[in-house]
A = this chain, B = another copy of it.
Amino acid sequence: MVLLEFSMSPLGKGESVGKYVARSIDVIDRSGLDYRLNPMGTVLEGSWDQVFAVVKACFEEMRQECDRVTAVIKVDYRRGKTGRLTSKVTRVEGLLGKKIRK
């Protein structure tokens, strides 16, 4: 299973791009995949094809109105591991022996 984090923004649509980001989050939320939003991106969990299909759907939505779109995507694949959307953070807390902000 794959953890994929991405952020996607239009260039040339001004300094505030929250409107476009919100549409991406809506696409993600309706995809059915498990995800977590953070201040710098969204983390998805699924198969390679599942998570990249969501990224592409966000791109297709954004390019309808935007002539330039940039994205940064990080992928972490680990064979046979699921539930890492929550377990990676929990494991770090266990190793540290204290609660951390998340």
Contacts and interface: CB of A to CB of B under 8 A. Distances in A.
Interface of A: 3, 5, 7-9, 11-12, 14-19, 21-22, 25-26, 29, 34-41, 43, 48, 52, 56, 59, 63, 67-80, 84-86, 88-89, 91-92, 95-96, 98, 100-102
Contact of A67 (B5, B15, B67, B100): B15
A11 B11 CA distance: 7
A40 B3 contact: yes
Interface of A is mostly: mixed
B73 A78 contact: no
A48 B92 CA distance: 26
Contacts of A67: 15, 78-80
Contact of A89 (B39, B70, B101): B39
B76 A40 contact: yes
Most buried by B among A35, A56, A71: A71
